[in-house]
């Protein structure tokens, strides 16, 4: 019988991660749309800033080639949650994603634009 040997390396961060924050916490999209999410790991001088991206739904895909930035691609209408998790410490933040049918998306965008114009007029008085 042969002897087997296993090794494991452990990295201890001198400046550990304390949190992670996404730049958006709610995104509305339509199928075939793309949005970007950026994760900021704190403190900025943490030793291990890598993050992992995940989702709870098949209505979107996540492209995370650029480590702390991900592209969200909408496939079909529905709701999803995108979660970012730090490799160091397992800290998380999430973003809710709603993918709407194109006709609904257009109507929502139109109404939102009107509301924003009204709010700007109210605020300037």
- Rounded Cα–Cα distance for residues 44 and 106 (Å): 38
Q: What is the largest CA-CA distance in the chain?
A: 86
Cβ-contact 87, 67 below 8 angstroms: no
pLDDT digits (tens, 9 = 90+) for 37-81: 999 999 999 999 999 999 999 999 999 987 899 999 999 999 999
In this prediction the pTM is: 0.78
User: Tens digit of pLDDT for each residue in 68-123?
Assistant: 999 999 999 999 999 999 999 999 999 999 999 998 888 888 888 888 888 888 87
SS3 86: strand
Buried b (16+ CB within 10 A) or exposed e, 97-121: bbbbeeeebeeeeeeeeeeeeeeee
């Amino acid at each position: 019988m042969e002897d087997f040997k296993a090794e494991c390396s452990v990295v201890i961060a001198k400046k550990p991660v304390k949190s992670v924050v996404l730049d958006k916490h709610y995104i509305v999209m339509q199928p075939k749309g793309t949005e970007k999410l950026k994760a900021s790991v704190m403190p900025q001088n943490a030793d291990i800033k890598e993050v992992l991206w995940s989702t709870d739904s098949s209505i979107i895909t996540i492209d995370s080639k650029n480590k702390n930035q991900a592209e969200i691609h909408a496939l079909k209408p529905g709701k999803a949650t995108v979660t970012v998790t730090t490799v160091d410490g397992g800290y998380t933040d999430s973003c809710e994603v709603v993918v709407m049918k194109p006709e609904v998306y257009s109507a929502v965008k139109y109404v939102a634009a009107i509301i924003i114009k009204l709010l700007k007029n109210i605020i300037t008085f």
